[in-house]
Amino acid sequence: MGPVVTSYNVISEDGYITDRNRDESFIPDATWGEFIKLIKDNDVVVLGRKSYDEMYKGYSPQLIKEFEETKTKKVIVSRDLSFEPKSGHVKAASPEEAISHGSKILISGGPSLNSAFLAAGLIDHFIRLIIPVNIGDGLKPFPQEPKLVVESSQRLKDGTTLETYSLS
């Protein structure tokens, strides 16, 4: 059996992962803990090169520290042969190469990386943490929303909702 791949995104109630300026400030820092928990449940976490850049440019040192301190292998996907991620991260040139690094893989991509994984038929499960705000416009997790069936839905104490889905 191949690796099990889970796609994770934090989205607004109306389905966006960033606003129209690629700003994620509608996402409370407190939701980072859910991401860290999921990272620890997997042996590999995969980011697209652009999300990786955004994280190191814009996130607080505390959030980055929590991310870096997880023992989970961190794989950054890029087609750029000259790209060298920071120490503690490895690069992969394709989704297939990224998942060759382990057996339980969490991907947290933007629409570009997510759609590459989806098109390659590599995503087994989807998890979304839904923030109860509407932001009107922005980036969606997938350029074309896949047909998803809700498997579970859990309202968390902070008012967010954690949902899991499979492809219909």
User: Which residues bind to ligand NAP, rule: CB under 6 A?
Assistant: 9-10, 17-18, 22, 24, 48-51, 54, 77-80, 83, 93-95, 108-113, 116, 139
- Output the smallest distance, CB 108 to ligand NAP, in A: 5
Q: Is there a contact between 26 and 131 (Cβ–Cβ < 8 Å)?
A: yes
**Identity of the residue, 99 or 113, whose beta carbon is nearer to ligand NAP in the bound complex:** 113
Q: HSE on the CB side for 141, CA within 13 Å?
A: 23
- Output the smallest distance, CB 1 to ligand NAP, in A: 23
**Tokens found for residue 11:** 């989205």
Within 10 Å of residue 85's Cβ, how many Cβ atoms? 18
**Identity of the residue, 83 or 124, whose beta carbon is nearer to ligand NAP in the bound complex:** 83
- Output the smallest distance, CB 16 to ligand NAP, in A: 8
Rounded to whole angstroms, how far apart are CA atoms 33 and 152? 19
The residue sitting closest to ligand NAP, measured at its beta carbon, is 110
**Identity of the residue, 80 or 145, whose beta carbon is nearer to ligand NAP in the bound complex:** 80
Rounded to whole angstroms, how far apart are CA atoms 46 and 77? 7
Q: Is there a contact between 87 and 74 (Cβ–Cβ < 8 Å)?
A: no
**Tokens found for residue 62:** 């505390």
- Output the smallest distance, CB 111 to ligand NAP, in A: 4
**Identity of the residue, 1 or 53, whose beta carbon is nearer to ligand NAP in the bound complex:** 53
